[in-house]
Structure 1
Amino acid sequence: MQRLVVLGGGESGVGTAVLGKQKGFDVFVSDKGRIKEKYKNVLINSKIDWEEEKHSEEKILNADLVMKSPGIPDKAPLVNELLKKGIKVISEIEFASLYTRATIIGITGSNGKTTTTMLTHHILKNGGLNVGMAGNIGDSFAQMVAKNDKDMYALEISSFQLDGIETFKPHIAIITNITPDHLDRYDYRFENYIASKFRIAMNQTEDDYLIYDADDPVVRDWLDKHPVQSRLLPFSIEKTVENGAYLKDESIIINIDKQHIEMSTDTLALEGKHNLKNAMAASTVAQLVKIRKATIRESLENFQGASHRLEKVLKIQNVQYINDSKATNVNATFYALDSMNTPTVWIVGGQDKGNDYLSLMPLVREKVKAIVCLGLDNGKIIETFGSVVDFIVETTSMQDAVKISKEVAERGDAVLLSPACASFDLFKNYEDRGDQFKQAVKNL
């Protein structure tokens, strides 16, 4: 019996353990932190051996195969030990893909991947397909393969998950865009991070498809220098493309092998240029898998977006409060500010991942009337924007940040939480940060 060791007892770890046990592995789960009760119960009910708050090397280094959760860095000493011994270390996405014959749509990128994954799933489900949504969003892919395997999956995939693949091959891959993010995990070298994202296409053949943002110079330059095997289907809001999706006179045009769809943009449920691109990417997938045009159009019109992503919370005294807590990097905040069309009080800050805020300068000058910093170290934000914005203040709790924003905002303004940073300095995660914002707004 082969021994499968799972490092990390969260969603992807426990899902892998359940699938591994089903497929006849001797499974052991090890988590350096505490395992949540709901995951413990799954392990106990499935009769899977586990430990928490430690990694017992004698129980780990005898593995035949190791699945490492995405949160554990590749350079962790234990991972180095395993690799030195020649033990294969893979990601959940790789492991689960070995046990399903489903058609896989893999979606990655620095921003927009959650919305694009949800939208793709929404259209395909409305089109009557037996499709699951998993990966970096919702249930683990492995758990779905074990319990309720589908004909097709829309998978949101992070660069960390792609770092641990060997044979994984989506039939349709999407790269929404690539901007500097998580550089602390990539030796602070942007090209390492780009290479990691492009692993999504590394096993594709000419029978597969890569859908990508043709307006993104990083993606274009990489493809020029590192051609892929798959068929390229670009999308663009700046130029016409021969095969793929583009914008013409307020309509989305999708052309694939002379199959032509045209859809007006004025009824799209989601606002902003970036969501136009997400809609193009998802609609291109739908066109490839032969979903009816009417279904695609209706799905784009009735789609409810991801929570914590430009989510309108409440309007109080004619001031709109918007929760964009999912903006954990500068580029996501760029999109948020770009979509604002009223004077904005901007709540920003958190755990900085090596951010360069200069790209936001034109938008801040044009749209931001006040900045409320919410983080333990706001030095870089104050240094960048201190001379541009008249009002800039530091806070260390969400309640204070929201109260001060209310005092500064006038009728017709917006208060935008779009932190451009990770949340771990003051919050459990970005969801916790967004929930606290919504609660604080409701308490005003």
Structure 2
Amino acid sequence: MKKRLVILGGGESGVGTALLGKQKGYDVFVSDFGTIKEKYKHVLTHNTLNWEEGKHTEALVLNADIVMKSPGIHDGVAIVKQLRAKGIPVISEIEFASQFVQGTTVGITGSNGKTTTAILTHHVLKQGALNIGLAGNVGKSFAGLVADAEYTDYVLELSSFQLDGVVDYKPHIAVITNISPDHLDRYEYKYELYIAAKFRITMNQTADDYLIYDADDETIAMWLQQNKIKATKIPFSLSGNTTEGIYIKDNTIVSNINNQEFTMPINELSLEGKHNVKNAMAATAVAQLMRIRKQTIRESLSDFQGVPHRLEKVLKIQNVQYINDSKATNTNATFFALDSMTTPTVWIVGGVDKGNDYDELMQLVNEKVKAIICLGVDNQKIISAFGNVVDIMVETVSMNEAVKVAQKIAEKGDTVLLSPACASFDLFENYEDRGNQFKAAVQNL
């Protein structure tokens, strides 16, 4: 008898898992409580996969042998509770797909920087002639790539939601870029539950595996003091108080891994900002562990083009620079963005607040921000936090309006920065949609 695989959610990870499940001989059924996008319906129908939308039919879901839950679906929804009550395993796409991979996976998580680090790491390894795919929380689904069987090894960007559904999966190399409060609405507003979710990346690792992490991050340092892990630790630090792993000396990245010393002056990195120095250090550590030549690492770090929607320079109009940082969906990401501003800034902020604490931005806003443009359905928290800090505060309800107001306020030499510090779901489909609308509005000025 075929094992029954039920997939909750008919998006990128759901459809990828359906294709892989069918290929591996499962009886597959996809159930989406919302509506499935036309492009995904076409793939499911074309591959003769059974699916439903707008409901979860209990008789067709609760007879599963195993369930893959898409990362966007909350653990607290009724159907998931019913599955768990019946003892049916509910896992993530990462867990399901990893059992069919023989090669090495590099798993990258963190509250911020994980997308840039994943794409940068993939770039370096690909330049080093590895047959490597990039998946997870970025680009295509991991399961879909495994089904295509094009790649031997994988770089995976892993969100806390994807790690929540991991049972046996272990990356050979794990990276934690940093940890700061995010998605607390999904973790009962308990920071320690979110931290624990991130550290699931190392829970199955052995002494033959590696954990690369930011030694300057207090949350990470404290967790590692209080919890034992088996993986070999490789810290990276800007402060220079570590001489193991990767550190900075005389404005140069110095890395000692596998008895190989690698150095690269910071000013040769293509990405600007302190946070990007850290992202480059993490990518370097992975590349050295994967035995990539030093020259290749150096060239790759100096020619990398950056990530869309992450401090992306859009246009300069009348000597005002417009920057798209739509991917900043929490205050920590926005902290890095504001920290890297060198001119008076008109800041476009707002969206769905995930339990933000704006206090950590106060000093930067005081120093760098001349005006705030709120772009969200409910802006009360932002107004309360910064109303007395900046001279100009404007509420807007569309991206076009926000950009036009910004143009009016900005003077020669200023920067207009979209760095929302919030999720996008009140006015936009997702952060990409928000960033694309920003770029379109700027181009129409």
Instruction: Tell whether the structures are fold-level matches, with TM greater than 0.5.
Output: yes
Q: Offset of 1:45 from its aligned partner?
A: 1.6
Question: What's 1:225 paired with?
Answer: 226
Question: What's 1:28 paired with?
Answer: 29
Task: State the identity %.
Answer: 67
Structure 2 counterpart SS, 1:204: coil
Q: Which amino acid aligns with 1:116?
A: T
The normalised TM-score by structure 2 is 0.99
Question: What's 2:179 paired with?
Answer: 178
Equivalence map 1:11-410=2 (5 Å): 11-410=12-411
Distance in 1 (alpha carbons) for counterparts of 2:389 and 2:53: 49
Unpaired runs of 5+ residues, structure 1, are: none
Distance in 1 (alpha carbons) for counterparts of 2:188 and 2:19: 34
Q: Offset of 1:15 from its aligned partner?
A: 0.5
For 1:67-90, what per-residue CA distance to the aligned partner results, in whole angstroms no more than 9, with x for missing partners? 000001111111010011110000
- Whether the 8 Å contact between 2:258 and 2:289 is mirrored in structure 1 is no
Q: Offset of 1:358 from its aligned partner?
A: 0.5
Distance in 1 (alpha carbons) for counterparts of 2:51 and 2:427: 30
Distance in 2 (alpha carbons) for counterparts of 1:236 and 1:51: 49
Moved more, 309-318 or 38-47: 38-47
Q: Which amino acid aligns with 1:320?
A: Q
Distance in 2 (alpha carbons) for counterparts of 1:203 and 1:123: 26
Q: Which amino acid aligns with 2:7?
A: V
Structure 1 counterpart SS, 2:68: strand
Structure 1 counterpart SS, 2:188: coil
Q: Offset of 1:149 from its aligned partner?
A: 4.2
Distance in 1 (alpha carbons) for counterparts of 2:301 and 2:194: 31
Unpaired runs of 5+ residues, structure 2, are: none
Distance in 1 (alpha carbons) for counterparts of 2:328 and 2:132: 27
Aligned length: 444
Q: Offset of 1:242 from its aligned partner?
A: 3.1
Q: Offset of 1:400 from its aligned partner?
A: 1.1
For 1:88-133, what per-residue CA distance to the aligned partner results, in whole angstroms no more than 9, with x for missing partners? 0000000000111110100000000000000000000000000000
Q: Offset of 1:210 from its aligned partner?
A: 0.1
Structure 1 counterpart SS, 2:268: coil
Distance in 1 (alpha carbons) for counterparts of 2:23 and 2:242: 46
Question: What's 1:440 paired with?
Answer: 441
Distance in 1 (alpha carbons) for counterparts of 2:106 and 2:404: 43
For 1:386-405, what per-residue CA distance to the aligned partner results, in whole angstroms no more than 9, with x for missing partners? 11111111111111111111
- Whether the 8 Å contact between 1:6 and 1:67 is mirrored in structure 2 is yes
- Whether the 8 Å contact between 2:32 and 2:55 is mirrored in structure 1 is yes
For 1:225-278, what per-residue CA distance to the aligned partner results, in whole angstroms no more than 9, with x for missing partners? 012110000000012423311111111000124321111111111110000000
- Whether the 8 Å contact between 2:258 and 2:288 is mirrored in structure 1 is no
- Whether the 8 Å contact between 1:344 and 1:415 is mirrored in structure 2 is yes
Distance in 2 (alpha carbons) for counterparts of 1:196 and 1:261: 32
Distance in 2 (alpha carbons) for counterparts of 1:138 and 1:398: 25
Distance in 2 (alpha carbons) for counterparts of 1:287 and 1:107: 16
Q: Which amino acid aligns with 2:159?
A: S
Distance in 2 (alpha carbons) for counterparts of 1:378 and 1:9: 32
Moved more, 378-387 or 205-214: 378-387
- RMSD (Å), alpha carbons: 0.7
Distance in 2 (alpha carbons) for counterparts of 1:397 and 1:49: 39
Distance in 2 (alpha carbons) for counterparts of 1:258 and 1:435: 45
The normalised TM-score by structure 1 is 0.99
Q: Offset of 1:148 from its aligned partner?
A: 2.3
User: Which stretches of structure 1, 4 residues or longer, exceed 3 Å deviation after superposition?
Assistant: none
- Whether the 8 Å contact between 1:243 and 1:257 is mirrored in structure 2 is no
